[in-house]
Structure 1
Amino acid sequence: MRRPMQRMARIAFFLSAFLTGCTGAIPNSTSGSNEVFTPGDGYERFYSSADHNFRYAFAEHQAPTRRGSRSERFELRDGDCGGGDCGNPRYRTEIQMPTKSNPANVGKDIWYGWSFLNSGVPSFTRENSLRLVFGQWGMPGGATPSIRLIQLGTDEGNWTACQNTTCAGSAINHGDVVIQLADMNRAFDWGKHKNEGYVCRLFEMQEHKDRWVDLVMNTNFSDGEDGYLQVWVNGDLRCNYNGPIVSPNSLLKGAKPGHRRGIFSSYTERWTKTHGAKPKPTLVVYYDEFAVGSSRSQVDPLLREQSNKPAID
C-alpha cells in the first residue's frame, strides 16, 4: 500500500506552484526499523541516513502538528554522521531542496513560512554550544550559507556594541535563536564590531519548548545595497536588515540559493573541550506548514489558517 500512497502524494505536490511542505505519506514509527524514511518530492535527505533522523509524525498518533494531519520530525543522536561530516566536528539530520526544485534567485523577492517546535533541544552556553542550525539558505557548490537560523549560547553575541546598520533586530533583549549572515561575515571579516554576522535575535529556545513558533522570512538574496531580509516571529517583526546578503565569491558558484532544514550541529569541539567524552544530548524538533511563495499571504501559517486555506500535508 505504501507505493500507491507515495504516488498520490507526488501528484498532490505538483498541483501547487509555490507551496512546498510535507509530501509523501509515510507511517509514523519510532521503533528500530531499518527502513530509511524519505522526504516527499522536491526534497532529499542530506548526510542523514539513520532511520531515526527523519520521519513524518501524525496527529492521529498524538504527535504535535501545527495544522492538518502530520508534521516533519527530525531527531539527532550522538554519533550520527554521514558523508563529509564523518571525521569532522559536525553532524546533522537535514533535508534539502535541490537546485532543480528551488524557485529562489539572487535579486528576486521571495517568501518562506513555516512552523517550528522544540521538543528536546536544551539551552547552551558559549563553552558547550553545539552551534545548532535549524535552517540555512545559500549558493550551491559548498558556498558559505548566506542566511542561517542558528542557536547561540545564551551568553554569546556582541549585541550592545554592534553597529545599528548591521544589527537590525527588534528591541528584544534576549533570545538564543538568531539570524546570521554567515557568508557576509566570512567574506568581509565582519568580526565583533558587526557581531560576527548575527544580525537579529528571534526567540528563546527554552521559552518556547513544546510550543509552535510561526516564522515568516522575506528576502531577495541580493549581493548589493538593495538587499533586504525581514523575519516575523508569531506575527511580530523581529528582523529588518537592509544591505548585501550574498558575497561576490558565493555568487560565482550560482544564483539560486538552496534551502535545508532540520538540525545541523555545525561545530562540536566546544562540547568536547568542556565535557570530554560525555554523550551529546538527543535532539528532537518538528517542522510543519513549510511553504515558499511570492507573498506573505501564501506562506504565513497564521494568515493561511485565518483565511481557511488548507493545511500543507
Structure 2
Amino acid sequence: MQTYIRRLSIAPLSFVTLYRIFVFTIILLLCVLTAWGYGFHPLSLTYMILSVSFGTRVGLEGILLYVTPLLLTGAACLLAFRLWIVNNGAEGQFLLGSLMSTWVGLHCNFSGWLCIVLAGLAGIAGGVLWILVPTLAKIYAGVNEILTTLMLNFIATFIIIYCVTGPLAGSFTSSPIIPIHLPLLWGNVHIGILIALFCVFILAWVSTHTKWGYELRVCGASTQAAHYIGLSVNQYLFIIMLISGGLSGLAGMLEVVGTVHRLQPGISNGLGYLGIVVSILARNSFLSLIPSALLIAFILNTSIILQTQQLNNAITLIITGLLLLLIAIADELAHYQYIKIYPKQKEI
C-alpha cells in the first residue's frame, strides 16, 4: 500500500469545518492560558465576558455597532477577492468616506433626511475616489494593487489629522459635532445596521442569481475563459473595485453620522483592516459575512471588557492576529487529501 497526498481545487466543507473547529480550540486554550497567566480564573472570566456581552444592553449595543462597519468593509474586501484582487485600502476608503460625509454634514442646510442621503452619497464618493487611482494603475499600468491600496491608507490617516486640526477643527482635536444623525432602532443602535445587511443580501443575490454575477465568477475563475466568451475582465475589474471602495466609504459615513457624530483621528479603529479578516472567515460567501462580522465584533467588544479588568488591549490584537494566521493555514490544509493506493496482485 502506498500513500499519496493530492491537492483538491475546492476544499470539501467537511475538511474546512473540521480544521476550523481545531483552530478555535487552539485559540480557546490560548485564552485560558492567558487568563491564568494574569491571575484570573478562566471560567469566571468567561462568564463575565459572556454575561456582559450578551446579557446587558450596553454589551449588545456595542457588538451591533461594531457589526455595522465590519459587514461593509468585509463585503468590500470579499467582492474584490472574487476577481483575485486584494483591496488592502478599505481603511483609507473608510477614512475618506467619513471625511466627505463629515464635510457634508457640517455644511448641509437642507432638511434632515436629505442631508443624510447627501452625506451617504458623499461617503460613497469618498471611498470611490480613494480607490480610483489604484484601479487605473492596475488596469493601465499593471501596478500591483496590494501595495498601492495599502500605501494610500497612511496618506488618508494624515489627511484626517490635518483636517481635524485645520479646516474642520473643533474641540479636543476633532471636528465639531455633526448636526445630522441616523434614526435609532434600539438604544444607540442606528439604522445603519439595516443598511449594511441590505447591502450584504443584495450582493449575495446578485452574485448567485444574475447573469452579471455569473460573468463575474467566470472572470474570477479564468481570465482566458472570460476573453474566449467575449467578456472584458478589465471592465469588471473597474466596476468591482469602485463598488468595493464605495462600500468602505459608506461604512465610514455610517460610523460618523450614526455612531461617533464627529470626525476624529483613529475613527476607523482598524475596521478597514479587520474587514479583510471578516472576508477571509466568510470563505467567499457574502451571507457568511454575518456570522464572521459577529465573531470579530464580539472579540472587539471583549477587548473593552478586558480593559475594565486592567488587562492590556494588545491581548485582543494578538488573538485576532493568531486567529487569522491559523485560519489561513487551516483553509490551505483543507485542500489536501490523503490517498491510499493498493498494489494490484499478480494473477497466478
- Greater strand share, structure number: 1
TM-score, length-normalised on structure 2?
0.23
Higher relative contact order (CA 8 A, sep 6+): 2
- Greater helix share, structure number: 2
Work out which of the two has the higher radius of gyration on C-alpha atoms and give 1 or 2.
2
